[in-house]
Chains A and B, each alone.
Chain A
Amino acid sequence: MTLANPKIPESARAVAADGTQLRYALMEMARDMPAVITLGRGDPDLPTPPHIIDAANRAMRAGLTAPTPVPGMPALRAAIAERLRAENGLPVAADNVMVTTGGQEGLFLAVQAIINPGDEVLVPDPRYSSYDDAIKRAGGKMVMVPTARDDAFNLDAAAVEAAISPASKALLIVTPSNPTAGIVTEERLRAIADVCIRHNLIVIVDEIYSKIVFPPWRHFSIGALPSMAERTITLDAFSKAYAMTGWRCGYAAAPADVIGAMARIKAVTTGAVATVSQWAGLAALEGPQDCISEYLDIYIERRAVLLAGLKRMGFAYGEPRGGLFVWADSSSTGIHAAELSYLLLKEAGVLIFPGTAFGEKWRDYVRITMLEPIETLRAAIERMLPVLERYRL
């Protein structure tokens, strides 16, 4: 529970307003400060693997940079389809796939393709709030589906069904979740699929963190279930798994008519993905995959360090099962999460994001990334501890 904390300076109270833009305001504030440890943005600090860089270099030097068709290079679309068939069990061919300018654009295009003004989109709470804009632009209405820490932020079919109304058209699933690091387990996805089939609901599933799942947990694609292929739009990107955020290359898989619609929208909103990025994406799919497990091992080590630090800080957390974040309960500090994030940035030089950037009610939570080396994570914890002690009630 958040308490009124008389120790908090007025300057910190001023930032407590909720809102998506808060994340960006904090990032811009951090950019102007020296020696900030950034545990905010979901941008892997690890390098894009060398064989992917090499492929991009070869394409550039060979002049293979002419514009591609809007849905993407045929060879890349085919390779994505093959990957999704082999690893995710999705029954897709190249014409069920398109290349997008990162994962976020995939969601924008998907929503524009299927949502009419007044349609409701069911969204797990908390949520990655950058998706709000896509839904609002289409005239859609978000309806929150609760998730809870004592359920490891898994999504429950009964909660989904309880949120359905005659206006419901789609369910958005993000697994592993940003910001909670929960995953939606196979058992739950099967139950959710039954609900979606009964209510003829479209599923938009963002699987951008699917290669970052901590054993014994594993990723499962809802689009692989019977009768789900015709109602599922699967989104993914190279950004997180291959540390390729700056290349802006992702993909969507869906029924062919949806891909056709998304391509029409893409043609008038952003155009084709940069060709050099598509060559890099192709190399990511066709080249060695060792980097996936190497990077996962690194994140597992970092997670252990971060969780130990959070324990010292008196933060509680659900088990992070996948993704690049820890979603921690900071209520023991008695400080509103937005104020806390501001204080930690200004006085500890550590950037984290407040829970209120991911849903209005999450004022007792913060999202912290694992995207710095272990020694930097340790330094961040040592910096934060005295600030917390200074203001803790």
Chain B
Amino acid sequence: MQNPSTLSRPLAERIASLPPPPPPAGENPPLPARVIEAAAAALARGETHYTDRPGIPEFRGWVAEHLRQRWGVTVDPSEVTVTCGSTEARYVTLTLLAEPGSAVLCPGDAARIRGALSLLGAEVVYSVRDDVRLLYLTPDVYRETSIELLQRAEADNWWVVYDLSFAATSPPFHPAQNKKLASRVVTIDSLSGRMAGWRLGWMAGSAAALRLRAGKQAITICTTAVSQWAGLELLRTESA
């Protein structure tokens, strides 16, 4: 028998809108030795099974504490879910909080969300429209623009996805500092810039946190255990 090249029936129509996968990101700088040792120690003590569905408690605790210390944003560790990179966090968040056919406002670079929204059947828009229900915000957006849009988000009950995963530096403000908005803000971040091949990200906060956790679980169950232990050590090292 020959190797099959084509399915006997047409593929799903949604495939046509998706670009080919990008080439892999390049090498990251070498990790501190203690990160590798932490990963090796995790393997040695048998951390090779499913972790808790939302991620190891130590990692989730670090994220919650980081949000509190850096921006004064209160998130319970139970509202943090560790994901397979920021890609999974974006996909789960956007597709669970935006509706098919809805408009997602993206004042910055939309390249990272276009594919996920295409799968959902939602539209990316670049200026405010009446049918916007979700704002996808990144720290590179001009601060005054961000503040203006967040005021609109508060007034119109939009969800806000704040994606820090490609921020060059830690931004000075966070949308969830606005207490009236905090329950509708999901923070996304990752270690993609330092350990991209380990596939480690997270989504944190909001009244939808448990729904987001279930959404991640339905796709990949949990995030790679050894990656979580390695990432935790890197975060602890850097914050020390």
Q: Is A69 in contact with B21, judged by CB distance below 8 angstroms?
A: yes
Q: Is B84 in contact with A24, judged by CB distance below 8 angstroms?
A: no
Q: Which of A69, A91, A114, A229 makes the CB contact (< 8 A) with B23?
A: A69
A354 to B85, CA, bound (A): 33
Task: Tell me whether A66 is interfacial, beta carbon within 8 Å.
Answer: yes
Q: Which residues of A contact B196 (CB under 8 A)?
A: 66-67
Task: Tell me whether B240 is interfacial, beta carbon within 8 Å.
Answer: no
Task: Tell me whether A152 is interfacial, beta carbon within 8 Å.
Answer: no
Task: Tell me whether A221 is interfacial, beta carbon within 8 Å.
Answer: no
Q: Which of B39, B53, B88, B226 makes the CB contact (< 8 A) with A246?
A: B226
Q: Is B115 in contact with A267, judged by CB distance below 8 angstroms?
A: yes
A220 to nearest B CB, angstroms? Answer: 16
Q: Which residues of B contact A65 (CB under 8 A)?
A: 28, 31, 195, 197-198
Q: Is A275 in contact with B197, judged by CB distance below 8 angstroms?
A: yes
B59 to nearest A CB, angstroms? Answer: 14
In chain A, residues 120-147, which have Cβ atoms closer than 8 Å to a Cβ of chain B?
A: 130, 133-134, 137-138
Task: Tell me whether B2 is interfacial, beta carbon within 8 Å.
Answer: yes
Q: Which of B12, B43, B227 makes the CB contact (< 8 A) with A138?
A: B12
B94 to nearest A CB, angstroms? Answer: 10
Q: Is A104 in contact with B197, judged by CB distance below 8 angstroms?
A: no
A70 to B41, CA, bound (A): 28
Given contacts A53-B43, A91-B1, contact A202 B7 (CB under 8 A): yes
Q: Mark A240-269, 1 if CB is under 8 A from B, else 0.
A: 000111111000001111101101111111
By Cβ-Cβ distance, the 9 closest A-B pairs, closest first, are: A268-B115, A246-B225, A267-B21, A133-B218, A70-B21, A91-B1, A275-B197, A255-B4, A264-B18
Q: Give B residues with C-beta under 8 Å from A.
A: 1-9, 11-15, 18-28, 30-31, 36, 39-40, 43-44, 46-53, 84-85, 87-88, 91, 95, 114-116, 118-119, 195-199, 214-215, 217-227, 230
Q: Give A residues with C-beta under 8 Å from B.
A: 21, 24, 27, 31, 41, 43-45, 47-48, 53, 56-57, 60-61, 63, 65-71, 91-93, 95-96, 101-102, 104-105, 108, 112-116, 130, 133-134, 137-138, 169, 200, 202, 226, 229-231, 243-248, 254-258, 260-261, 263-277
